Structures are given as C-alpha cells and as structure tokens.
Amino acid sequence: MIPILITGATEEERRQTAKAMASEFLGVAVDRLESQPDLQMIVPSPSITIAQVREMVSKLSRKPLATSVSLAIIYEANLATFEAQNALLKTLEEPFPSTRIILTSPNKDFLLPTVASRCLEVQVRSKTTVSENANFKQDSDLVEYLLLSPPERRLAKLDQITLSKPETLTLLTRVLLIAEQKLLSSKDINRQKMITLFIRAVNLARQHIAANVNIRLALASFLLSF
C-alpha cells in the first residue's frame, strides 16, 4: 500500500488522525494501539535520527505477530534529519507486502521532495484557525518585520532569541504557517517572490537545526539569505 502522509491542522490533530488510521489498519481500538506488537511509533526527540529509521525498517521486514499488518507511524517526519529521510526512501518506494506506513507533517513541503512524492497526502482540516492561536499576532508581526527589514536589522533580532532546539523548531513552524497565509493572500508579484524565498529559507533553517547544526549559525544564515 502507498505510504500515507497526513498534513495540515495542528500537531495533535494530525496525531489523532494517524491513530484513527492505525486503528482501522490493525483492527483494534485506538486506546489499545500502544500495546500492539505490530505497531511502531517514532516521535522526534527533538529530531528523528537515521538509527531510528533503520531500526523501524528492520522491524517492518519481519512478519506481523498479532495481526496481518506491520504498521509504522512517524510523527512529524519533517523533523527527521536528511540522512534519516534518505534512509526511508527505499521502504517508501517498495514497502514490504504486509507493511503500512503513516507519516505526519505540517506541510508536505517540509519534507524532502523525494519523500513527499512517494506518499499519498491526506490533508486534515483544523478545528481551530491559526488566528485563534495566542501567538498569532506576535508571530505575524515578526514575519512582517523580517520581510520588510534589511539583512542587518534582521540579524539584530538574533540577539533576542534564546530558545532551546525544540522551542526554535516550534517557532519556525509557526512562522512558516504565517508566511504561507501571507503568500496566499498577497496579490503583489514582488511580495509573493519575497515570501517564497522567505519560506524556502525557513525550511532550510528548520532542516539544518533538526540535523543538529548550531542554532545561532543556522538562524544567522536564515536571516541573511532572503
């Protein structure tokens, strides 16, 4: 079966959708999933490593123990390192006969194109809008400031950022969601081009930080790259 990529909504809503699908595949109730020997769940901490993916692939190659399906869920697969995503490619392209794989990500563009293209995307509509997030106004103002400011003023923002790796990745994810909204609502071609470059730069920064590149160096490169 083609691997499934769940996108959109919130992280928790993507997680619940993945669990609902897993429940259908395995024929068990959602509250019994974690005790199933034929289910693997990978959660970023704070990233997903190549070792985790290799272990998952090894287990998927074995026959199911309690059901007819060996299932793996990779939560927030966009936080997998480059090496981890590349290690996943062959399994996504040629899954074992009894294998089912589910990935979640805020957006398919947060993954390597070679990974996203091998999956069937299922978009989840959020029950809450982004504008209801308490951080929306602050994040929106930050994105606008970065888009309109020259590189040296953007770089000055770096001294105000003292976040941990998970917090930085979360902030960048929120920034991406805001930027995508601005891109969709913009009618100006030049602004659209600028926001597109901004989105690419944020994506690259996220991938670098997930791959354990120094946070300040990754953010400095991001702030100077669009």
Query: Domain ends where: 124, 147, 172?
Result: 124
pLDDT at residue 131, as a whole number = 46
Same domain, 177 and 86: no
Same domain, 100 and 140: no
Strand partners, 5: 103, 121
Same domain, 111 and 139: no
Are β-strands 4-8 and 39-42 bridged in parallel, bridged antiparallel, or unpaired? unpaired
Q: Print the domain residue range for 86.
A: 4-124
Predicted TM-score (pTM) of this structure: 0.62
Same domain, 110 and 179: no
CA atoms of 48 and 44, how far apart (whole Å): 5
pLDDT at residue 42, as a whole number = 97
Same domain, 24 and 115: yes
CA atoms of 106 and 203, how far apart (whole Å): 12
Same domain, 107 and 11: yes
- Crossing angle (nearest 10°) for helices 136-148 and 165-185: 70
Domain count, the chain: 2
Same domain, 212 and 136: yes
Instruction: For the chain, list residues with pLDDT below 50.
Output: 129, 131-132
CA atoms of 51 and 144, how far apart (whole Å): 39
Report helix, strand or coil for 132. helix
> The domain spanning residue 11 has which CATH number?
3.40.50.300
